[in-house]
Structure 1
Amino acid sequence: MEDHNFGKALISFVDYLKKSQESKVVVTTTFWANPVMNEQIRWAAAKEKWTVIDITYLSEDEVNMALGEYEHEGVARHPGDTGMLEIARLIREGLPL
């Protein structure tokens, strides 16, 4: 992708949040499959040497969603407790300690 508008904006946002240049940065892919956004995230991470945790595959299993917990299906397709626990586990395992 020639134009990395989101990736550049993500770098700027992270630079704003970092306390120092030595800060370690960990980002995740999107929960739902979104190849364009995930490519932007991976591009920014590669450019800045951040750690990327892939969580997109979690949306392939409805057990990771809050289905049945909310009336609105769009809300219910967000990660539920099981999905959030799995996201937390993946991030913890991927932390550059």
Structure 2
Amino acid sequence: MTATLAPAPSCFFLAGLSPLEQLQLAPIVQRLEAGGALVPDAPANRLEVIGILHSYGEVLDAYSRNLIFIADHQFLELFPAFKYFNGEITLGKWLRY
């Protein structure tokens, strides 16, 4: 009895795997190469993907708010030392800072 060999890897990430791992991943790779989805279309899978996208959307929302804050309050301050003068730029204050 001879051992069956795994098919030649069609993707670069299969090349470093053992033959058993390649056999286990072969149906997924074939489905993806044929234009199918990574996970089967099922209600539970759809809800999981929607949950992942929702949580990623919250992260992107916080990131965009942070960028807007930086743009409004920090990015356009060409000389941040002037914020310490409170509108009165004198030589004494300039030498102190």
TM (normalized to structure 1)?
Answer: 0.21
Larger Rg: 2
Q: Taking structure 2 as the reference length, what is the TM-score of the superposition?
A: 0.21
Bigger relative contact order (CA 8 A; separation at least 6): 1
Higher helix share: 2
Higher strand share: 1
